[in-house]
Amino acid sequence: IDIEECLLTTDLGNAVRLAVRAWAREEKLEPYDQATGEGYLRHLFYREGRNTGQVLVVLVTAPGGRFETGYLVDVLRRFPEVRSIHWAINDTPAERTNVPTRLLWGEEAIEEELLGLRFRLRPGAFLQTNTEMAERLYGIVRELAALSGTENVYDLYCGTGTIGLTLARDAGHVWGLEISEEAVACAIENAELNGIENSSFFAGNVGQTLQELAEEAGPADVAVVDPPRAGLAGKALRRTGELQAPRIVYVSCNPTTLASDVKVLRDEYGYELRRCRPVDMFPHTPHVESVSLLAKSSSSAG
């Protein structure tokens, strides 16, 4: 699709995309056709640290080395902000960008800054795409968690540790749980990068390993959950309710599953929904993030 300007990215993002498009035309590289499985170019994956100015680029293609990698690197190095250039091959029909990459030039990762902390971003690491609103989101999480410096905090679906590490300065200890081993490795690295020592991160399925974490970490004073669009669902929801944490801060990207999860936490585990703050993470779309505070109701406190 011949787009001159994408309104979702920055001027720099558009310039990088146009430069790669001109390079691809010069090299006579055909776009991939998902219907026929023919063609070569599949995706250009672009990450920009909005607060650091650092850029990571991944070219995703079908199998085969049909271009001279050094020339692509030369094209992208014209932009001084580009610090990391990768190439990935997707050999499946599915439209996937999160595939193993090969570093062509530069650093393995770039860094972004959120709420005064530095976070290393590799190609496969998750971070909210809207940096400004991510900071607002994490600020609301801190507000609703209302930490005093001594609390035992569980950070479930912790990803690369962004929420947990922004809470660590006000907590006794933060315990993160995440199914992606790559993300957990990033979380540990990010803790070291920021000199945060009161945090621990573990790889595991929340529903299957939360009980094991509780035995290691002790009772939770606050549980922060940031599940995927499907919500907590099934065993993860039950295990979270069974923690009996005095406060749960629920970060949701799907109001429908949030509503069903809150109903279960209210009816079966004695929680009340005290506050819910929407965050417009995706302007000009119907999607919205929200941060909710659930607390044990007075009738269930005993």
The catalytic residue positions are 253
Q: Tokens for 158?
A: 């912790």
CA atoms within 13 A on the CB side of 180: 17
Which run of H or E residues covers position 145? helix 131-145
- Are 109 and 120 in contact, with CB atoms under 8 Å apart? yes
Residue 67 dihedral angles phi and psi, to the nearest 5°: -140, 160
CA atoms within 13 A on the CB side of 251: 29
Q: DSSP 3-state assignment of 241?
A: helix
* Helix, strand, coil percent values for the chain (each to nearest 5): 35, 30, 40
